[in-house]
């Protein structure tokens, strides 16, 4: 077989069905052996736990081709362990981490013709998802679950360079103190949809959520963590004292790159909204875009403008972006264990 004939640089971000997915079902207290299947449909009973009490969590990672033609993923072990944490918090069975990694390998290898070619900027987005298939009416955890991984090719996030975006301080909250903000659960997204649609209608690209307890500290956006750069070129990463920020793998990797490779001063600490005007650059980080530069925050009509401006990424964020994407693409040496090659025959 050969690569699919797609206009890789223009495929955008909608779901394109690929040939294969991985499915394993949990029943009678254990996971079955799991298999690669062509069936993209899920059939559920009307009283399935996921439909009523939102017992569901997911992950997101990418597979891509390197210069020398290998197919790799970036730190998939961290997705495996984060999904374990999400499942535990939602009283779902844990899918063993080594089986998660094996399943990612199998499903990517099966869909190798869908992995966009090196240099196209496109990647194969991998979506592991786990949900309650078992029956419930009374509120309790279900006793049957499905773990599934499917893939879809996605286009380059920034076409024609990363343009800084404008974000707003939201009046909605994303996550309750000591709630579920630190796990990757669909329920955190359901409640953010009204907030993001509203922000888009008002002309903003994203919402910045404050801590729900005091509404003084910066947390994150709906689907990306936040980083700031200080006047003297250090990195500041918001930390939540109510544990309501999602532990982004991109953000944790940026911290390592900044500290160990670029030798920047890095502070991970609670960041007040009132001190944001002292920073020179801001970025949103997550698997999809790696880092999106922010040019401006709108706080109820008051604009906080970063020195990096609205034309391009600031110099420190650019350096972080180039180094991290260089590590991912193989042009910068990766820290031990970060790049996971997919065995393909």
Ligand X SMILES: *Cc1c(COP(=O)(O)O)cnc(C)c1O
Residue 184 among the catalytic residues: yes
- Closest distance between ligand X and the C-beta of residue 209, in Å? 9
Closest CA to 207 of 284, 278, 318: 284
Nearer to ligand X, 105 or 220 (CB): 220
Q: Is 40 helix (H, G, I), strand (E, B) or coil?
A: coil
Nearer to ligand X, 49 or 128 (CB): 128
Q: Which stretch binds ligand X (CB under 6 A): 138-146, 249-257, 271-279, 331-339?
A: 249-257
Q: Which stretch binds ligand X (CB under 6 A): 110-118, 119-127, 223-231, 262-270?
A: 223-231
Q: Is 126 helix (H, G, I), strand (E, B) or coil?
A: strand
The correct pick among 76, 153, 223, 293 for binding ligand X (CB under 6 A) is 223
Q: Which stretch binds ligand X (CB under 6 A): 49-57, 246-254, 300-308, 337-345?
A: 246-254
Nearer to ligand X, 83 or 132 (CB): 83
Q: Which stretch binds ligand X (CB under 6 A): 62-70, 111-119, 129-137, 243-251?
A: 243-251
Q: Which stretch binds ligand X (CB under 6 A): 108-116, 203-211, 248-256, 323-331?
A: 248-256
- Closest distance between ligand X and the C-beta of residue 59, in Å? 8
Residues 175-194 that bind ligand X (CB under 6 A): 184
Nearer to ligand X, 205 or 249 (CB): 249
Q: Does 168 contact ligand X by CB under 6 A?
A: no
- Closest distance between ligand X and the C-beta of residue 83, in Å? 11
203: left (phi over 0), alpha (psi -120 to 50) or beta: left
Nearer to ligand X, 84 or 251 (CB): 251
**End-to-end CA distance of the chain, in Å?**
12
Residues 6+ apart with CB under 8 A from 85: 182, 183
| Segment holding 197, helix H or strand E | helix 193-201
CA 150, 205, 274: angle at the middle one, nearest 5?
120
Closest CA to 232 of 295, 280, 282, 291: 280
The correct pick among 115, 149, 208, 246 for binding ligand X (CB under 6 A) is 246
- Closest distance between ligand X and the C-beta of residue 2, in Å? 30
Residues 29-68 that bind ligand X (CB under 6 A): 60
Select which of 184, 272, 302, 318 is catalytic: 184
Determine the Cα–Cα distance for residues 262 and 290; give it in Å rounded to an integer: 17
Instruction: Give Cα 1 to chain centroid, integer Å.
Output: 31
DSSP string, 309-340: TTTS--HHHHHHHHHHHHHHHTSSPPPTT-EE
Q: Does 220 contact ligand X by CB under 6 A?
A: yes
Give the CB-side neighbour count of residue 50, counting CA atoms within 13 A. 21
Angle between helical axes of 97-110 and 76-89 (0-180°, round to 10): 120
Binding residues for ligand X, rule CB under 6 A, total 13
Is residue 329 within 8 Å of 340, Cβ to Cβ? Answer: no
Strand partners, 217: 272
The correct pick among 49, 286, 293, 314 for binding ligand X (CB under 6 A) is 286
- Closest distance between ligand X and the C-beta of residue 184, in Å? 5
Nearer to ligand X, 140 or 200 (CB): 200
Determine the Cα–Cα distance for residues 186 and 222; give it in Å rounded to an integer: 11
Nearer to ligand X, 84 or 184 (CB): 184
Strands 206-208 and 165-169: parallel
Residues that bind ligand X (CB under 6 A): 60, 184, 220, 223-225, 246, 248-251, 286-287
Task: Give catalytic residue positions.
Answer: 184
């Amino acid at each position: 077989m050969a690569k699919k004939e797609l206009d890789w640089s223009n495929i955008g971000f909608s779901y394109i069905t690929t040939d294969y997915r991985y499915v394993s079902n949990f029943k009678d207290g254990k996971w079955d052996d799991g298999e690669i299947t062509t069936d993209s449909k899920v059939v559920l009973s009307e009283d399935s736990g996921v439909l009523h009490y939102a017992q569901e969590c997911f992950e997101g990672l990418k597979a891509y081709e390197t210069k020398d033609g290998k197919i790799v993923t970036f730190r998939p072990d961290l997705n495996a362990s984060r999904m374990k944490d999400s499942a535990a918090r939602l009283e779902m069975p844990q899918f063993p981490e080594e089986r998660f990694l094996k399943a990612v390998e199998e499903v990517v290898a099966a869909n190798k013709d869908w992995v966009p070619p090196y240099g196209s900027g496109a990647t194969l987005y991998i979506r592991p998802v786990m949900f309650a298939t078992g029956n419930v009416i009374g509120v309790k955890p279900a006793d049957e679950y499905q773990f599934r991984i499917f893939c879809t090719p996605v286009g380059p996030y920034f076409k024609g360079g990363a343009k800084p975006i404008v974000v707003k301080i939201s009046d909605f909250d994303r996550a309750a103190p000591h709630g579920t903000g630190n796990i990757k659960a669909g329920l955190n997204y359901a409640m953010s949809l009204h907030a993001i649609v509203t922000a888009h209608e008002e002309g903003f690209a994203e919402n910045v959520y404050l801590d729900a307890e005091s509404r003084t500290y910066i947390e994150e956006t709906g689907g990306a963590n936040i980083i700031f750069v200080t006047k003297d070129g250090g990195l500041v990463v918001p930390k939540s004292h109510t544990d309501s920020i999602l532990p982004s793998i991109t953000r944790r990797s940026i911290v390592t790159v900044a500290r160990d490779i670029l030798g920047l001063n890095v502070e991970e600490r609670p960041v007040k909204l009132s001190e944001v005007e002292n920073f020179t650059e801001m970025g949103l980080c997550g698997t999809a875009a790696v880092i999106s530069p922010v040019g401006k925050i709108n706080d109820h009509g008051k604009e906080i403008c970063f020195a990096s401006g609205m034309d391009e990424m600031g110099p420190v964020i650019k350096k972080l972006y180039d180094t991290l994407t260089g590590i991912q693409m193989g042009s910068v040496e990766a820290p031990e264990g970060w790049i996971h090659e997919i065995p393909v025959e």
